[in-house]
Amino acid sequence: MKCIACRTLVGAEGRFHPAGIVDGMRLCFAISSFGQGGAQKQCVALMNALAIDPDIEVQLIYFQEGENFAALRQDRIRAVRLSGGSVYDLRNIFRMAKRLRELRPDVICSWLHGSDVLAALSTLLLGATGQHVPWVMTERDSHYPPNWRYRLRRRLARRARRILCNSEAGRRYWLANGIEAAPLHVVPNINLAAGLTANSAGTSQREVVFAGRLEPQKNVRQLAQAFVLAAQSSPARFRILGDGSEREAVSEIVGQTGGVGRVELEGHQPDILPLYQRDPVYVTLSRHEGTPNAVIENISLGNLIVASRIDEHVALLGPEYPFYVAPDAAPSDVDRVIGMALTVEDRSCLAYAQAKVAALTAPAVAACYKRHFMEVAG
């Protein structure tokens, strides 16, 4: 089987190797925590896939466990937890450097922003002592606020041997910020719903769902207004699942606009795939993304999606997909498109998208990452 992203062959799973026994590459991941979020789920899925490769010893440096930590194949990964408060505590540079000196990885791969900064500075510190650990950075988004943390990250990114982006938009972000094209590569997300099938037997009522972080990037205030409006004329069940800084604002919108009892505001649901298997209409009005897990998963299960027309969604769903809305569409426009999606039985409009996500299995995507790590390790 060929991986679309890197055109590398995917081999057999391989056998378990105890940490420290393998003669191949020692690969260390660095992440602040495994809390809520699609990026954390992707990190777990990738590490699990690489951990069964006989050529790789997977190592991990982290600060907090979080709810996705339990899904990690801890018996196959050499994990080290660092103590400390904020990820940006300067003492963590020395803590991480000390652990890297002990682990002696051939490559370190940082995942998410705080760990990017720590990996860059700790490898710089190690290099001054004669131990060189090449650093690979990952990019999970395509837009950031103008504060000092992201300015520091942009400056340090010039030290990365490669930046592996999960979207073309992420690659363009780094090109626009002065990184040359050579170290920039796009490797897609793993389809976490691969192999699952739809099963609508558990519900007699159609559902309209958003599940994700309740943050400004996700445009959830506009989404809440649209759900309240749509629920006034539709018998469908409308559900918003997630937590975040916008939760209180979303709750107020639902309460003040007559949505109480019509729109259900629920917390984060760790195991969301059974809900997606019940044939909901999934709605996402994000202003920007990396590669959205929820969209990939709903495509894989054959669910119709109402999506903001941003590059990251068009890359998955195709330019001719019929259920787009403008990123800041009026609630009435979103209501209209939701109504259209609820009445459509034919799913042929998903053919383009399903062909794209079918190849994004964990072994295939892990093979793409492995190729990059092996090349950086030399």
Q: Region 169-193: what's the mean pLDDT?
A: 95
pLDDT at 200: 59
For 356-366, how does the pLDDT look when each residue is reduced to its tens digit (9 = 90+)?
999 999 999 99
Q: How confident is the model at residue 86 (pLDDT cuts 50, 70, 90)?
A: confident
pLDDT at 23: 63
pLDDT at 114: 86
- Show the 3-state SS of 282-347: EEECCCCCCCCHHHHHHHHCCCCEEEECCHHHHHHHCCCCCCEECCCCCHHHHHHHHHHHHHCCCC
Rounded Cα gap, residues 165 and 171, in angstroms: 6
pLDDT at 71: 94
CA distances from 312 to 75, 245, 254, 286, 309 (A): 36, 23, 28, 10, 8
Q: Region 240-244: what's the mean pLDDT?
A: 94
| Tokens 């954390």 sit on residue | 40
pLDDT at 290: 82
Q: Region 313-321: what's the mean pLDDT?
A: 96
Rounded Cα gap, residues 240 and 269, in angstroms: 10
For residue 85, pLDDT beyond 90: no
Average pLDDT of the chain, as a whole number:
90
Q: How confident is the model at residue 52 (pLDDT cuts 50, 70, 90)?
A: very high
Rounded Cα gap, residues 145 and 287, in angstroms: 13
For 135-144, how does the pLDDT look when each residue is reduced to its tens digit (9 = 90+)?
999 999 888 8
Percent of the chain at pLDDT > 90 equals 77
pLDDT at 270: 83
Output 222 or 37, whichever has higher pLDDT: 222
Closest CA to 14 of 45, 53, 55, 56: 53
Q: How confident is the model at residue 11 (pLDDT cuts 50, 70, 90)?
A: very low
Q: Region 328-336: what's the mean pLDDT?
A: 95
Q: Region 235-250: what's the mean pLDDT?
A: 95
Residues facing residue 330 across a β-bridge: none
pLDDT at 332: 96
Helix (H) or strand (E) holding 164: strand 162-165
